[in-house]
Amino acid sequence: MKKTFFGGVHPDDAKALSRDAKLTSFLPRGEMVFPLSQHIGKPARAVVKKGDSVLAGQVIGEADGFVSANVICSCSGKVKAVEKRRSISGALLECVVVENDGQFTKAEGFGDRRDPAKLSKEEILAAVKAAGIVGLGGAGFPTHVKLAPKNPDAIRYIIANGAECEPYLTGNDHLMREKAGDIVEGLQILVGLFPGAKGVICIEENKPEAIAAMEAAAAGKKDIEVLPLHTKYPQGGERSLIQAVAGVDFPVKSLPADVGCIVQNVGTVYAVQRAVCFGEPLFTHVLTVTGEGVERPMNLIVPDGTSVAEIIEYAGGFRGGKEPKKVLAGGPMMGFAMSSIDVPVVKTTNGITILASDPVEKAQLQMTACLRCGRCTTVCPQGLMPQMMAEAWEAGNEERFEVKLYGLDCIACGSCAYICPAKRPLTQIFKQAKAEIMAKKRAQAAGGKK
C-alpha cells in the first residue's frame, strides 16, 4: 500500500485525453496582456508606460512590498496601454498590454549557464525573487517568501509536488518526463538552502513514466528521494502531501514550515532551476488544454499573457465547432469557470479544461435536502464535518461555523460536493462563508488599527 492521507475521493481522472501529447512550445501572434496581480499579495507596480519598447524577459511590473512578485514580459514589442482589463478570474485588473511583434527577441542578461554551487543563499533567493517566481500549483504565493521561513534549521523536507491529482491535467506529468534532470537539479538547489533538509519528489502512481524518469534522474543522489503515492484526490494538496510524506497530522492554524516542510510544485522547482542556473525569469509555463469540448487536447509551453482564445484556436478550436458548455481555468475540481475566453493566461494558469457538458447544471436539478449520510465527513481530507458546517452557515450561525466546526480550515478541494448524493453545493457554500468571514475580520483589523 502506497503512502497517502486520510479521506479523499476517486473521481474519473480523464487524463487519457492528453496523456500522450508531448510538450510543445506555442508562440502566440496577438496582443499580450499582463495583469499586474498574478500572485497572492500586493499587485506589482508597472515600470513601463505607453509607447515603451519591451523585450521578452524584461521586468514590466516590479514587486511592491515583501509579499509581491515581479511581472515579466514574455514577448517583444511595444507597450500599447497600461489599463484595466478583464482577467481570467473575471475581475477587472490593472494590466500592461503589449503589441506583440512576433519576434520574441529576448532581453540581455540571461541564458549563460552558471554553477549554482558557487552562489550564496542570498544570491539564490535574489535570483528567485528577480525571476518573479510564484507557486505554479495554482495559488501563486511568491516563492522567495516561502523559501524564507522563520525557522530554516527546522526544515526537514522540501517536497516537490508532482502529484497532479486534479483530473484532466497532464502538464506536470510531461514536465517530469521531459525535464526530469532539471527538476532534480532545481530541487537540489532548494535543499541546499536548508541544512537539515531532504528533497522528496511526490508523484501519484498513475504516472508510471514520470516516476521512472524522475527515479532515473535522481539515481545516486543521496538527498533526493522519489516517492510514489496512492492515486487519490486531493493528494496534491499541501496538507495531504505533508500527511503522506512526513506522517504528521498538522494542527489547525499552523503553516507547513511549522512542521518542518516546504512544498513546491514541480513547475516551480523547474522555474527555480532556470532562474538560478541561467538567470532566466519566469515568463513561460506549462499548460494543459484539454476536455471533451476541444479538438486536439495538448500539453503546451505557453508564454504568460497569451489569450485563452488563441490557445484554444491552436488546439484545433472547439470540438465540432460547437460552443462548449463550460470553459474552466484549471481542472474540474479546483478550477473556476470563465465568463469569457478573451482573457490572458497568467503564471498560475496550469490548465484550460473545456467541458462539453456541465455537471453542475445537472446536479442543481437533482439537488435535495441533506440526507445526513455523512459521506462528506468521511472524504474530507481536513477531517471536517461539511454537512454540519453547511447547516451552521445556512442558519446564519457564523460563530459555530468558525469556532466549533473549524470552517476556515476548509481547503475548498471539492471532495464533499463531489461525493454528496443529495448534490448539495457544499464547496461553494464554504467558499462564500470563508470569504465573508475573512472580509469581516479584515474590516475589524482595519478598524482596530485606527
Q: By C-beta, is 119 or 360 nearer to another protein?
A: 360
Q: How far is the CB of 97 from another protein (least distance, A)?
A: 14
**Binding residue count for another protein, defined by CB under 8 A:** 22
Site string for another protein, 416-435 (x = CB under 8 A): ---------x--xx-xx--x
Query: What is each CA distance from 215 to 174, 238, 308, in whole angstroms?
Result: 15, 22, 35
Site string for another protein, 332-351 (x = CB under 8 A): ----xxxxx-----------
Instruction: Indicate the SS3 state at residue 242.
Output: helix
Question: Measuring CA to CA, which residue among 94, 89, 139, 31 is closest to residue 339?
Answer: 89
Contact 298, 24 (CB under 8 A): yes
Q: By C-beta, is 209 or 358 nearer to another protein?
A: 358
Q: How far is the CB of 362 from another protein (least distance, A)?
A: 10
Question: Applying CB under 8 A, does 361 fall inside the site for another protein?
Answer: yes
Backbone angles phi, psi at 95, to 5 degrees: -130, 155
- Candidate ranges 165-173, 190-198, 302-310, 354-362; the one touching another protein (CB under 8 A): 354-362
Question: Applying CB under 8 A, does 153 fall inside the site for another protein?
Answer: no
Question: Applying CB under 8 A, does 209 fall inside the site for another protein?
Answer: no
Contact 116, 190 (CB under 8 A): no
Among 358, 395, 399, 440, binds another protein (CB under 8 A): 358
Instruction: Indicate the SS3 state at residue 392.
Output: helix
Phi-psi region of 46 (alpha: psi -120 to 50; beta: other; left: phi over 0): beta
Q: By C-beta, is 275 or 327 nearer to another protein?
A: 327
Query: What is each CA distance from 289 to 271, 299, 310, 312, in whole angstroms?
Result: 20, 6, 11, 7
Report the alpha-carbon angle 164-426-414, nearest 5: 5
Q: By C-beta, is 90 or 152 nearer to another protein?
A: 90
Site string for another protein, 75-114 (x = CB under 8 A): ---------x-x--xxxx----------------------
Q: By C-beta, is 66 or 336 nearer to another protein?
A: 336
User: What is the Cα–Cα distance from 203 to 209, expressed in whole angstroms?
Assistant: 10
Backbone angles phi, psi at 361, to 5 degrees: -60, -45
Binding positions for another protein, rule: CB under 8 A: 84, 86, 89-92, 336-340, 358, 360-361, 364, 425, 428-429, 431-432, 435-436
